[in-house]
Amino acid sequence: MSDAWQIEPSGPLRGEVEVRGSKNAVTKHMIAAIMGQGPSTITNVPEVGDVEITARILEAVGARVEQAEGMLTVHPPDSVNPLVPLSFSGLNRIPVLLLGPLLHLTGEAFVPRVGGDRIGSRPVNFHVKALRDLGAEIEVTDDGIAARCSRLRGAIIELPYPSVGATESALLSAALAEGKSVIRGAATEPEVLELALFLQRMGARIELRPDRRIVIEGVPTLRGATTRLQGDRNEAFSYLVAGLITGGEVRVVGCAQDRLVTAITTLMRMGARVDVDDHSMTASAPDGLHAAAVQTDVHPGFMTDWQTPLMVLFTQAEGMSVLHETVYEDRFVYVAALQKMGGEIELFSSCLGGPACRFYESSSVHSAVVRGMSKLHGAEVDIPDVRAGFSSVIAAAAAEGPSLLRGVHHLERGYHRPAEQLRSLGLDLKTT
């Protein structure tokens, strides 16, 4: 298969895009499904690489995954292999989430080292500590993580940072643990709540408390369940920006307004008009865009995954914009490509555009100052990760001259049929 796109700017992008469920949600639902006594069905499933990888991982431990258009059914394993093969090392971060479920099913587990986008430190120590709190014996090696226990038991799990992955891991591990568990400092992102709701449909007893606390009363068994995934808020924002940056207008269908509250207001502050109804949202900027200062944060703040398309939008907004990244310390790996395309962006290790964050006084480059309006031009670019990939695409769509983007498999790992969607909006895109 081709792993490069040739993009020729073709004017304003216009049209309609329907987004499916989030890759960050569907894979966690698939993991939860192996703990049920009976099959679970998930609908509104995106066609993304992470779904295929996760399906192969689940099949390796003995589950059966049936896939159809926009739907998949997970049949829990009759005979469980608790050892995830080393061949899945470094592909994504899903294996570490299997530790708790496999311990419930067999009393032991091994998962290989995790992978995923190179956007900064995403240590597994939060996951490991949560499992140790629940009574598991853990050994971390260069190859991966081995765990063993006779039975997980409820515990108070203190997360030093509201990590999405660690919260999801704790939810999966506590659902069948004996007794009550409390996750303190939990992440509250929509994808986390989606997983909690799905587990509740499976029979888990979960309560959401104030101050980032989640209480789980362990139950003896879970059953299969059916759910429809909510629309991908990352993808929705990306397509709204794609319309704005090219002077066009994209109507996004399938993602509820409440999943993009902060993102919508940010665009409005920059001068965009955002029209929202019960089924869709559209963004336009007939009078142009102006600069803004934005700080990323955990939910309900401005999502870190939104900052990659926003950075490109800043290059086409009048004035000096500031972006302060507070979630991952190495999120700006994609900026070099934008600079190569003419984006006037300077990076700093200082905390700019907001109060001091946890990277204060570190050497992490986590603030950017962007001068608009930059005259973008086509270039040859290597894509380093999923979100960076889309930023390169929309920069190429707004540039003068053709661009060649290599490594589009990263993009296809996280976006549903991106080439097809972009062509439907009028982008001249050829695979090479």
pLDDT at 121 over 60: no
Q: What is the pLDDT of residues 60-104, one digit of tens each?
A: 999 999 999 999 999 999 999 999 999 888 777 789 999 999 999
State the first-to-last Cα distance of the chain, in angstroms, to the nearest integer. Answer: 9
pLDDT at 117 over 70: no
pLDDT at 114 over 90: no
Using the CB atoms, write b or e for 382-402: b if 16+ within 10 Å. ebbbbbbbbbbbbbbbbbeeb
Q: Among residues 3, 78, 117, 385, which one is catalytic?
A: 117
Q: What is the pLDDT of residues 407-429, one digit of tens each?
A: 998 888 889 999 999 999 999 99
pLDDT at 188 over 50: yes
* Residue of 299, 294, 297, 326 lying closest to 311 (CA atoms): 294
Please indicate whether the domains covering 4-19+231-431 and 23-228 agree at the CATH topology level. Answer: yes
pLDDT at 120 over 60: no
102-130 mean pLDDT: 78
pLDDT at 357 over 50: yes
What's the CATH number for 23-228? 3.65.10.10
Domain 4-19+231-431 has CATH 3.30.450.70: no
pLDDT recorded at residue 388: 80
pLDDT bin (cut points 50, 70, 90) of residue 310 is very high
Q: Where are the domains of the chain?
A: 4-19+231-431, 23-228
Q: What is the pLDDT of residues 208-262, one digit of tens each?
A: 999 999 999 999 999 999 999 999 999 999 999 999 999 999 999 999 999 999 9
Order the strands of the 319-324 sheet from edge to edge: 293-295, 319-324, 367-372, 344-348
286-300, 374-388, 391-405: segment of lowest average pLDDT: 374-388
Q: What is the pLDDT of residues 41-57, one digit of tens each?
A: 999 999 998 899 999 99
pLDDT recorded at residue 182: 98
pLDDT at 122 over 80: no
pLDDT bin (cut points 50, 70, 90) of residue 1 is low
Could you tell me the pTM of the whole model? Answer: 0.93
The encoded tokens of residue 213 equal: 């606390």
pLDDT at 118 over 90: no
* Strand-pair category, 156-158 with 40-43: unpaired
pLDDT recorded at residue 115: 56
Instruction: Judge whether 322 and 368 are in contact, CB under 8 Å.
Output: yes
Active site residue 117: yes
pLDDT at 4 over 50: yes
Give the chain's mean pLDDT.
Answer: 93
High-pLDDT (> 70) share of the chain, %: 97
112-126, 186-200, 208-222: segment of lowest average pLDDT: 112-126
pLDDT recorded at residue 123: 61
pLDDT recorded at residue 128: 93
Q: What is the pLDDT of residues 141-175, one digit of tens each?
A: 888 999 999 999 999 999 999 999 999 999 999 99
